Every structure is written in C-alpha cells, then in structure tokens.
Amino acid sequence: MNNNGEQLQNEKNKMPNNLTSFQFDIKLNDRIRQNGHNPLLIWITGLSGSGKSTLANTIEQRLFKQGIKTMILDGDNIRNGLNKNLGFSTEDRSENIRRIAETAKLFLESGTVVIASFISPLITDRANVKSIVGSSFYFEIFMDTSLETCEARDPKGLYQKARTGEIKNFTGISSPYETPINPDFIFNSEENTSNQQIDLLIKKLTKLITTNE
C-alpha cells in the first residue's frame, strides 16, 4: 500500500497559503510496516435503526481478533462530544459529516482501520468523505433495511417522535435519505443470512487491509 500511503501524505500537505505543514520523519508507510496492515475507512450508512452500530461492533470484534488496530466512530458518541454544537439542519449535518471525515483521516494517518457508523443521508456528503480521505481508503457499506423495518424496531423511540412532529428533520420521515448508487457492500439485515453476509464482508475487508509485504 505504498502508493496509498503517499497519496494520504500528499493530501495532508495541501495546506492554505498561510500555513505550513511540518514534515515529520515517521510516515504512514512506516506505521503500516509496524502495524502489519493497511489503514481503511469502513463507512456504514443507512437509516436510523437499520443496524449500523451493531454491524460496526461485529466488524471491530472480528478484525480485532486478527490483531488489527481499529477505532469505531459512531453517530451518538460524536454528537455528544466533538459535534455537540451542531444541530440537524442540512448545513449542520454536512458539517457533522465533514468533521467526522477529517477525524477519520487523522486515524488513517496513524495506520488505524476506522469503522464509521453514520446515517449520512446525502450522496454529496458521502462523496465528500471519500474525497477527504482518498478513494483508496474508503469502503462504503449500505445497510439495506427498509423504513418499515427500522420504524418497527424503533429502539430509541425516535420514529414515533418524528411522526408526531416532536423531532424535526428526521431522516426517512421529514428529511430524505439518498440510497448509495454504487456501495462497496450491501448488507441486508432483514434476511436470515446475516452470518454468511458478515463472513463475506470480513473476507473482503481482510483482503484490503492485509499488506503485500
């Protein structure tokens, strides 16, 4: 993944004219050699209640057992900290995703595999994430779970509040969700083949993460 390491470093060096990026001696390729695996951003998108966090947790457990350095970034956790000053307008949602992408990029520079679980309803926002971290570091998973199933689950009672107007701009109810056009993996949590899907997904991810050295 030497070329990818150079790509991420080149993106990092693109600074505004009044800023200068200090060139540290330890590079991403050094971290890749030390870690024994490549970095990757695994971006899980889908409606609230589609199973994003559950899948993120399962992926991390499976990769962690392989000795891979991982970090989960999850919607509620990020909004309770880094992005607690943002609301749910279209502009704030885009800024929320942009900050998450920049945070993920920092973890990628450390050689970590990042698992990001966010509704991220807009195609343009997800494309921006891919642009920020670099296409070769981005793996998109679409949780293909119907609105009816998500609403029936409603683990946090959010859909009920959205239906009564208590929550505004709620994805799937009063705010749109744009289905990914060409995701890297489609996960259907409504089928009874979840274990087979997970095995196939982990096989794909392991192939991307494993170094050729």
Residues assigned a catalytic role: 120
Q: Is 193 exposed, middle or buried (0-12, 13-18, 19+ CB in 10 A)?
A: exposed
Instruction: Tell me the three state secondary structure of residue 32.
Output: helix
- What tokens does 48 get? 């609230």
- Computed on alpha carbons and rounded to an integer, the radius of gyration of the chain in Å comes to 18
Is residue 40 within a helix (H) or strand (E), and if so which, with residue range? strand 40-45
E strand intervals along 112-160: 113-117, 138-143
Instruction: Tell me the three state secondary structure of residue 203.
Output: helix
